[in-house]
Amino acid sequence: MVADIENVFKFAFKDKNWIIKMLIGGVLAIIPVVNFIVFGYVLKVLKDAKEGKEARLPEWEDFGALFKDGLTVFIIVLAYALIICIIWLIGILISIIPVIGCLSLLLFPILIAALILIPPAANISLCRYLDKGTIKEALKLKEVLEEFKSKFSDYLMVTLINAAIGLIASVTFCLAPFIYFWLWLITARLFGEIYGTRPTKFSI
């Protein structure tokens, strides 16, 4: 099956209430803890994509359930973020020791690799959580890596798209929360489609 990138980029704007829904997402996204609701909302988009359902913006409803799901998303993503933090901290500690300071340069490519690999790994884990229902199952790295390797080029392509849009969003300042929310929706939809099917190429 082909992942239709053009349709994924447009799906959010096909909803008749897309402006209101996007405004809600962007505003909630900048409020600490409350933004767990947004994470839960994005998980619904991921679930729809994984199950092959039509691309759509879910309704903003049952905020309690969204918050609970968002907390799970936060825990799973945090587990992967800690990997990056650990690599970064090791690099700092090594760099301040004169004798072995130069070794910190060796960690740079490892950090770059982690930044590339962790987004798809985290999204695969979220899909596994939707399948298995537990965080423990979601974070089984062997299964996550097997899924990642089976569709490596597809997952890598989405990661690069995600990074490119993220760079654009980072310089838009006041619009950044809304662009990032849109980016999360796109990313969830694409990763969900890849996980739920066996795409061989992308259609742009």
The β-bridge partners of 47 are none
pLDDT grade for 168, boundaries at 50, 70 and 90: confident
pLDDT tens track for 15-36: 999 999 999 999 999 999 999 9
User: Cα–Cα distance between 193 and 95 in angstroms, integer?
Assistant: 42
- Look at residues 58, 60, 30, 55 and name the one whose alpha carbon lies nearest to residue 44: 58
pLDDT tens track for 29-82: 999 999 999 999 999 999 999 999 999 999 999 999 999 999 999 999 999 999
pLDDT at 190 over 90: yes
Q: Specify the pTM.
A: 0.86
pLDDT grade for 1, boundaries at 50, 70 and 90: very low
- Look at residues 181, 170, 184 and name the one whose alpha carbon lies nearest to residue 31: 181
The pLDDT of residue 98: 66
Helix H, strand E, coil C: the string for 97-128 is: CCCCHHHHHHHHHHHHHHHHHHHHHHHHHHHH
- Look at residues 162, 121, 118, 156 and name the one whose alpha carbon lies nearest to residue 140: 121
pLDDT tens track for 88-126: 888 777 777 766 656 667 777 888 888 889 999 999 999
- Cβ neighbors of 117 (< 8 A, separation 6 or more) are 148
User: Cα–Cα distance between 138 and 180 in angstroms, integer?
Assistant: 24
Residue located via tokens 């982690």: 114
The pLDDT of residue 192: 94
